[in-house]
Every structure is written in structure tokens, then in C-alpha cells.
Amino acid sequence: MGEHYDVIVIGVGSMGASACYHLAKRGTKVLGLDSQPVPNTNSSYNGNTRVIRLTYQEHPDYVPLLKDAYRLWEEIEQESKEKLFHKTGVLYMGFPDGDAITGVKLASKKHNLSYSNLMRSDLTKQFPQFTLPEGMVGALEPNGGYLLSEKIVKTYKEQAQLKGAHIITEQPVLDWSHDNNNITVFTKSEKYSADQLIISAGPWSEPLLHLPKLKLSVTRQVLGWVQPSQPKQFRRGDFPVWNIDPNGDDNLHGIYYGFPIGNTTSEGNGLKVAWHHPGNPMHPDNITQEISANDEEEILLPLRRYLPSALGTIKDIKVCKYTNSTDGHFIIDRHPDSNRIHFACGFSGHGFKFSSSIGKILSELALDKKTPSSIGFLSMDRFTTDK
Ligand SMILES: Cc1cc2nc3c(=O)[nH]c(=O)nc-3n(C[C@H](O)[C@H](O)[C@H](O)COP(=O)(O)OP(=O)(O)OC[C@H]3O[C@@H](n4cnc5c(N)ncnc54)[C@H](O)[C@@H]3O)c2cc1C
């Protein structure tokens, strides 16, 4: 049997690396175990950057979590002296009665958040890069922007280690067991024990959780980078993070979104574009990194349609995984088998922006058995039929 720990965290990814950091910050003896190197290109945070925005309409209780997350992003930037968040503003575009535009307005009103309404003529003047169908309008959220996701996972891991966390990588956890006194975690070559366990294994959560009522579907998603012929007008500083809700335009669906061109390698190379939509469910180990003509078309279509001035050579396409819950909301809860075990999963393609606060919440659940954050809406009992 290896050493005994206060808390073991299975999965040092987006949520787990942040949890290790917050646990170590409180002086806890913590072990983080990951099956892969940290960071790696096979997890859910692959692809350099992630959008962050405050005007969240998906559920009213997400906004307070985001306000905590913003505060904690600032804290980790100051502590690590690393630039992790670029506040570029987020430009929403869509039809006036579509989900994106009505969502921004409702969330802003409810939570007293600032945004500006952009009529079509304002959009054309301020953002001439876009070519939009008749009737589309805009809303600009000044506090949105993007996070450097791979750099953040690396930073949280390193800051956790500086505070004494023990992180072991390339050691997959095969299973765990518990009795009244201890949790035991098994890898191929070792056994570790702890008082508390956190499971944050992303796409690989389902088999580790042993919860038959929990259904997660893992989907393959792609992110692409292009080189526009005139890059200047798309650079960070002149161009925001943007998203377009195409609903009502030619049977298109989902959300198309993109990022400005940055000037550091952590931001990726070129103008980044993606499509937020339900991908095909498959086992995470069967998700191929090979790029097809369909993947290329997925990247070029929104440019051809809405941002033709950016069309250019595809420089890179990366593959990533969504872990979808059945209702698209996160799942953060105590494991029904023991109050020493907590888990977070099912981030459904929109969790990264919250990872600073979710790591803290997981540390509070493990150490205090409660959190001041309102996370009742994310509990697992919403899936039980006999409530
Ligand atoms: C293409 C794409 C675009 C996205 N865009 C956005 C966005 O713009 N904004 C946003 O907020 N979110 C976005 N997301 C979602 C966000 O990235 C995820 O919600 C988040 O990264 C999920 O974090 P996680 O900790 O659950 O999983 P991960 O970050 O994948 O971490 C899981 C970790 O567990 C480890 N692990 C798994 N099994 C084991 C095991 N048996 N033993 C030990 N370790 C194990 C893995 O190696 C991994 O390190 C996007 C996701 C994708 C794929």
C-alpha cells in the first residue's frame, strides 16, 4: 500500500487540477492521479482556448458560480504571474427572437450585467468583418473573452505542486473501494489510501463512478484554425470573441463561434473557429484524431457563410471531447455510496469557464462536507425517477 492522503483526486484535468490546487492551498495532503501526462492533447481542454462569458441564460444559478470563477481567475493569474485570461468582449449575433440574443438580454437584466445592444447598422459599422443575413442583430458583452485552457491546467497543476500536492501522471486508476475508515484507489501497480475521494475523470467518468442512473454520452468535436489573407483585422485588440446563433437561417443549427488571432503560442496559431452542436456519441477511446473532409467543411462553413473575409488556408484542426449529461447541465454531487466521495462530470461542452470555481467547490465538499455556492441545481437527484 502506498502512502495515506487526506484527499485523492482522480483526473487532474480541467476540474481536477483546480481541485488539487484549492486543496493544497488549504494545507491538505493531496494526491492527484491522472492516466495521461498533464497537460495532454487527449482531454476535454485540448485546443488552447475556451470562451468565458457572464451573461449565462442556461440556468440562473450559473451566474453566481461564474462571478466566483472570474474572481478566482484573477487570483490564480496574480499568484502564478501568468496571463491566463484575455478579456476581448464577446459579440453575440442572431435573430432578435433567437436564443442567443434573448438569452443575453434576459441574463443581463436578471443579474444586472452590462452589455450593449447592436442594431444591424451598428454591427456593420463596428464589425465590418462579418457578412450577416438580413434581420440579424448583435449584443456585445464587455466582460467576456477567452481562457488559455491548456496553460491553465498546467498552471493549476504546478501551483498545486508548489503548495505540496503530489501529482502522479500516466497512472490510470482502475477502480476504488471504501469502508468506514478509508478509501482505497487501485492503479495497475499501486494501491493508495485516503480519507476523501474526488472523481473528476471527464470523458472517462462513467465506468469509474458505478452509478447506473448516471448517463453520460461522449462526443467527438473539432476546432480549427485558419490563416486569413488579411490577418490584421482579426487580431486580438481589434476583433472580439464572437458567436452566431444561426437558428432561422437556412436550416443551420447549433452555435458557430470563434476567437481573435493572438500573439502567443498558448493561444494557438491563426484564427480559431468551431461549431457548438451535438456530435456523435462514442467511447472516448474510439475517438479518432484523424481529420476528415467533413471536419474541414465544419470549419470552413461558418466562415464562408458569415466571415468570408477570413477564409484562408486551414492551418490546424484539433479533436476534442464533450461529456454530455442528458439535460446539458453539469453534475456535481456526493456519491450515494459514501459521504467521503464527491464527483463532478457531464460538463456538456461548456464547463471550462467554471473550472476555477468548481475546483474550489470540490475542495469544500471534500473538506467541509458543504459549500457556500448554490449547486443544488447540479445534483444527481434530478435524474432519479423516484424523487
Ligand atoms: C471542442 C470543445 C470546445 C469547448 N469550448 C468551451 C468553451 O468555449 N467554454 C467552456 O467553458 N467550455 C468549453 N468546452 C468544455 C470544457 O472544455 C469541458 O467542459 C471541460 O474541459 C471538462 O473538464 P473535465 O475536468 O470534466 O474533463 P477533463 O479536462 O478531460 O479532465 C479529465 C481528466 O481525467 C483523467 N482521467 C480519465 N480517466 C482516468 C483514470 N481512469 N485515471 C486517472 N485519470 C483519469 C484524464 O486524463 C483527464 O486529465 C469545450 C470542450 C470541447 C471539447
SS3 199: strand
Does a structural domain hold residue 125?
A: yes
Domain CATH number, residue 232? 3.30.9.10
For residue 64, tell me if it sits in a domain.
no
**Same-domain status, 256 and 205:** no
Write the CATH number for 371: 3.50.50.60
Establish whether residue 173 lines the binding site of ligand 1, counting it when its CB lies within 6 angstroms of any ligand atom: yes
66 part of a folded domain? no
List the residue whose alpha carbon is closest to atom 50 of ligand 1: 349
Candidate of 12, 14, 65, 321 to mutate for ligand 1, largest count of ligand atoms within 8 Å of Cβ: 14
Residue 340 inside a domain? The answer is yes
Q: Are residues 236 and 136 in the same domain?
A: yes
| Closest-lying ligand 1 atom to the alpha carbon of residue 346 | 26
pLDDT over 80 at 162, yes or no:
yes
* Mutation pick for ligand 1 pocket among 45, 241, 295 (CB with most ligand atoms within 8 Å): 45
pLDDT at residue 35, rounded to an integer: 98
171 within ligand 1 shell (Cβ under 6 A) = no
Q: Are residues 290 and 334 in the same domain?
A: no
- For residue 49, the ligand 1 atom closest to its alpha carbon is 8
- 184 located within any domain: yes
All 3 cell numbers of residue 250?
Answer: 437556412
Q: What are the phi and psi torsion angles at 5 (to 5°)?
A: -120, 160
Residue 248 binned pLDDT confidence (cut-offs 50, 70, 90): confident
Q: Report whether residue 318 contacts ligand 1, using a CB cutoff of 6 Å.
A: no
Give the pLDDT confidence of 53-62 residue by residue, as tens digits: 999 988 889 9
* Residue 376 burial (CB count, 10 A): 11
* Neighbour tally for 311: CB within 10 Å: 15
The predicted model scores a pTM of 0.97
* Together in a domain, 177 and 305: no
One domain, residues 233 and 138: yes
Supply the range of the domain harboring residue 231. Answer: 90-142+217-324
Together in a domain, 136 and 157? no
Give start and end residues of each alpha helix (H) in the chain: 14-25, 62-80, 99-111, 120-126, 149-162, 205-209, 293-306, 355-368
Specify whether the CB–CB gap between 258 and 241 falls below 8 A: yes
Of the three residues 324, 348, 364, the one that is the final residue of a domain is 324
- At 118, give phi and psi (nearest 5°): -120, 115
- 385's CB contacts (< 8 A; 6+ apart) are none
My answer on whether omega of the bond before 336 falls inside 30° of 0, hence cis, is no
- Report the number of secondary-structure helices (H) and strands (E) in the chain: 8, 19
Q: Using a 6 Å cutoff on CB, does residue 347 contact ligand 1?
A: yes
Residues 317 and 269 grouped into a single domain? yes
Radius of gyration of the chain (CA): 21
* Domain assignment of residue 53, yes or no: no
Query: pLDDT tens for residues 213-246?
Result: 899 999 999 999 999 999 999 999 999 999 999 9
Q: Are residues 251 and 304 in the same domain?
A: yes
Over the stretch 82-140, which tens digit does the pLDDT of each residue have?
Answer: 999 999 999 999 999 998 999 999 999 999 999 999 999 999 999 999 999 999 999 99
Q: Is residue 58 packed enough to be buried (19+ CB in 10 Å), middle (13-18) or exposed (0-12)?
A: middle
CB 343 within 8 A of CB 335: yes
| Ligand 1 atom nearest to CA at 174 | 41
Per-chain mean pLDDT for the chain: 95
Length of the chain: 387
Q: Tell me the β-bridge partners of 91.
A: 140, 242
Confidence class of residue 250 from pLDDT cuts 50, 70 and 90? confident
* Residue 39: cis peptide before it, omega within 30 degrees of 0: yes
Residue 185 and residue 131 share a domain: no
In a 3-state reduction of DSSP, which class is residue 235? Answer: strand
Boundary residue ending a domain (324, 341, 363): 324
- Grid coordinates standing for 248? 432561422
In a domain, 74, yes or no: no
Say yes or no to pLDDT of 259 above 60: yes
User: Is 83 a domain residue?
Assistant: no
Domain stop point among 305, 324, 343: 324
Report pLDDT for 387: 47
The structural domain count of the chain equals 2
Q: Return d(Cα 362, Cα 201) in angstroms, integer.
A: 13
pLDDT of residue 150: 98
Percent of the chain with pLDDT over 70: 99
pLDDT of residue 354 exceeding 70: yes
Residue 46: is its pLDDT beyond 60? yes
If you take atom 37 of ligand 1, which residue's CA is the nearest one?
201
SS3 state at 230: coil
Same domain as 249, residue 132: yes
- Is the domain of 252 the same as that of 108? yes
Are 136 and 221 contained in the same domain? yes
Please name every residue paired with 177 in a beta bridge, in sequence order, or none if there are none. 184
